Copies of this chain bind each other. A is one copy, B any other.
Amino acid sequence: MPLEKSWVTSANSANCAFPLNNLPLGSMKTENGAACAVAIGDFAVNLTAAEAAGLISFAKPLCVDGNWDHLISEPSQTWASFRRTLKSALALGSSAEAGLNSYLVPLADITPNMPFIVAEYTDFYAGRHHATNVGTMFRGAENALPPNWLHIPIGYNGRASSVVVSGTDVRRPWGQLKGPNDDLPTFAPCARFDFELEMGAIVGRPSTGPVSVAQADAMIFGYVLLNDWSARDIQAWEYQPLGPFQAKATATSISPWIVMKEALEPCRTETPPREFELLPHLRDCGPMLYDIDLEVSLTPQGQKASTLARTNYREMYFSSAQQLAHHTTSGCSMRSGDLLGSGTISGPEKHQRGSLLELSWGGKEPMELAEGQSRSFLQDGDKLTLSGHAQGEGYLIGFGECSGVVLPALSNPFEGEKE
């Protein structure tokens, strides 16, 4: 399918992240709260206002609450009809142009708001290069991948309350730390604060028992970019034996725009070769991944941005659908609004690594940045930005940017009384 044309002319360029083929969904802050928005060209359409004014209408009101929870929980037929209606209204020659034209807001002027309420958040560890890099650093090259790793998508439950939208500042956390030469732990600000480049899949349809990979794929509403901020020193002390906890609870940033699965379908691609055949309930049921170019950049306060890494979502060993199928094997109920982090997406090359832990090899090889700067881990004031897009036939499917600035740790984390 080639580029589809819109009456929003900035959407008709091959370099535009938000053509009519994409129509990613977000939320923007307004005087009264928040509004549902769709990105098209250089603009967002305020759909909450347009729907209220009767200028666009779906099978039922879907934009009333300023986020996409209603639509996400609908059957997939409604997702498809919603997209048809929206596409038709924004297509070149649509009679809706005159009405909707006054509901366009320049993207540069909007303040993103959470596009959905996260029901529960699960984070996986399903990128082979990342798991191999981290395992090599901690356990040596021969024991890099745990024995289970090639058979199940390893994951852990994260904290839904940690999820924030791009643009939200992230406060460097305090935590309990113990260096290898310390006798006793201390409570101190994190000194090894890091990012993780991930994609997030949003579960739309709920389930109450085990689902197949094909069923799981059909349950997924869409995808976001996701930065799983990570406190490496807190993690090193806390994670045995029950996994990461406070190291991952400070914040998890997502892109302002949810790209609906349908928009990504033309960009399907295969998973990497398997070392062991997967058990039947986790086996690929078609091309399981998407070809999505991803990039990380770091902007020290008041300085120029440097690209840290470039990689691609096709590097994942397990897809979101396989992760979701695994998630349900125990009978675990899945809910509309559940968010599944893919795990850090690293490629085989050094410049394709999706975290500073890997890029600086645990701090031993600091990354050189522009203007003579270098980084082993994030410093206060650093702005970290993820971006990504899939390449269609003559058009892009972009996610926008997922960014956050690291604020200094509180001087006393307990100051200020709480009720």
Contacts and interface: CB of A to CB of B under 8 A. Distances in A.
A161 B333 CA distance: 6
17 contacts: A75-B419, A120-B120, A120-B161, A146-B240, A148-B238, A151-B178, A152-B176, A161-B332, A173-B330, A174-B210, A175-B330, A176-B329, A187-B280, A209-B418, A215-B418, A239-B242, A239-B243
A186 to B, nearest CB: 7
B159 A120 contact: yes
Contact of A329 (B146, B173, B242, B281): B173
Interface string A195-230: 000000000010101111001001100000000000
A242 to B, nearest CB: 4
A5 interface: no
B414 A148 contact: no
A187 B120 CA distance: 25
A246 B329 contact: yes
Contact of A218 (B120, B161, B419): B419
Contacts of A329: 173-176, 187, 246, 413
Given A174-B210, A215-B417, A186 B240 contact: no
Contact of A330 (B178, B218, B237, B246): B246
Given A161-B120, A247-B330, A125 B176 contact: no
Interface in A141-173: 146-148, 151-152, 154-162, 171, 173
A20 interface: no
A384 B176 CA distance: 37
Q: Assembly of this chain: how many copies? A: 2
B413 A151 contact: no
Interface string A328-348: 011111110000000000000
Contacts of A247: 330
Interface residues of A, number: 74
Nearest to A207: B418
Given A148-B185, A159-B120, A418-B211, A330 B234 contact: yes
A249 interface: yes
A136 interface: no
Interface in A213-270: 215, 218-219, 231, 234, 237-247, 249-251
Contacts of A174: 210, 329-331
A372 interface: no
Contacts of A76: 419
A410 interface: yes
Given A148-B178, A161-B333, 10 more contacts: A120-B161, A147-B178, A157-B159, A162-B332, A184-B276, A187-B329, A209-B413, A210-B413, A239-B242, A247-B330
A54 interface: no
A279 interface: yes
Contacts of A244: 242-243
Nearest to A414: B212
- Of A146, A219, A330, chain B has the most CB atoms within 10 Å of the CB of A330
- Of A186, A237, A327, A418, chain B has the most CB atoms within 10 Å of the CB of A418
A419 B332 contact: no
Nearest to A216: B418
A192 interface: no
Interface in A295-352: 326-327, 329-335
B332 A246 contact: yes
A407 to B, nearest CB: 10
B331 A155 contact: no
A71 B246 CA distance: 28
A2 interface: no
Interface string A392-412: 000000000000000000100
A330 B147 CA distance: 31
Nearest to A239: B241
